[in-house]
Amino acid sequence: MLGGWQARRERPYRVLIGTILSARTRDETTDRISALLFKRYPTPRALARAGRREVERILKPIGFYRTKAKYVTETAAMVEKLGVPRTIEGLMEFPGVGRKVANCVLVYAHGQEAIPVDTHVHRLSNRLGWVRTKTPEQTERALVRLVPRRLWPLVNEAFVAHGKKTCRPRGPKCAECPVERGCRKRGVRPAAR
């Protein structure tokens, strides 16, 4: 599981596939199921040649499993030929890879600096009044200007953590929130955005 030449060589592949699978799915579920998938199909070549039905059976508990089975098998075939790209444009060519997943791969597979803006980061950035944006991409472009590069990972991951636990989409738990000044949504009723 750790270290090893083989594991190191396949790491970007695993980050890419695992991150595709993570869409709208809890981390623990994603981790458990992707571990099963990689045990059965350790390489892009193996997954590219897998039967769709078998992949769907493994992915069942993760949700969106038919769509995701298609994405990961097709992506594996492309990775076998192209490798895992190091540009956001290249990564977004893969099926099931949007801007957020592409940025995750840049950060977690290639060690590049980027801000993967998911729904939490988008929501918190707006609630806190750091930005006023409609789309996650607009939020990303604003944040990379507002936040010092060194703090990108800290801010991004802190927003995700706070968004999951406290600053929920519908019912933000303002009573347990340490942010007192600077929040535009402090005390707003749950129905409001």
Binding interface with DNA (CB under 7 A): 22-27, 29-30, 60-68, 92, 94-102, 104, 116, 118-121, 134, 156-157, 160, 163-164, 168-171
Name the DSSP class of 174.
G
Nearest of 89, 83, 109 to residue 19 by alpha carbon? 109
Distance of CA 124 to the CA centre of its chain: 16
In the complex, the smallest distance separating the C-beta of residue 192 from DNA, rounded to whole angstroms, is: 12
**Residues contacting residue 58 through CB under 8 Å, at least 6 positions apart:** 33, 36, 37, 40
Nearer to DNA, 90 or 98 (CB): 98
What is the three-class DSSP state of 82?
A: helix
CA distance 117 to 98: 11
Nearer to DNA, 82 or 181 (CB): 82
In the complex, the smallest distance separating the C-beta of residue 139 from DNA, rounded to whole angstroms, is: 12
In the complex, the smallest distance separating the C-beta of residue 5 from DNA, rounded to whole angstroms, is: 27
What is the three-class DSSP state of 118?
A: coil
Nearer to DNA, 20 or 48 (CB): 20
Nearer to DNA, 51 or 61 (CB): 61
In the complex, the smallest distance separating the C-beta of residue 90 from DNA, rounded to whole angstroms, is: 13
**Helices (H), ranges, the chain:** 5-9, 11-21, 27-40, 44-48, 52-59, 65-82, 88-91, 99-108, 119-127, 136-146, 152-165
Nearer to DNA, 41 or 123 (CB): 123
In the complex, the smallest distance separating the C-beta of residue 176 from DNA, rounded to whole angstroms, is: 13
Nearer to DNA, 39 or 193 (CB): 193
In the complex, the smallest distance separating the C-beta of residue 125 from DNA, rounded to whole angstroms, is: 12
Beta carbons of 82 and 93 less than 8 angstroms apart:
no
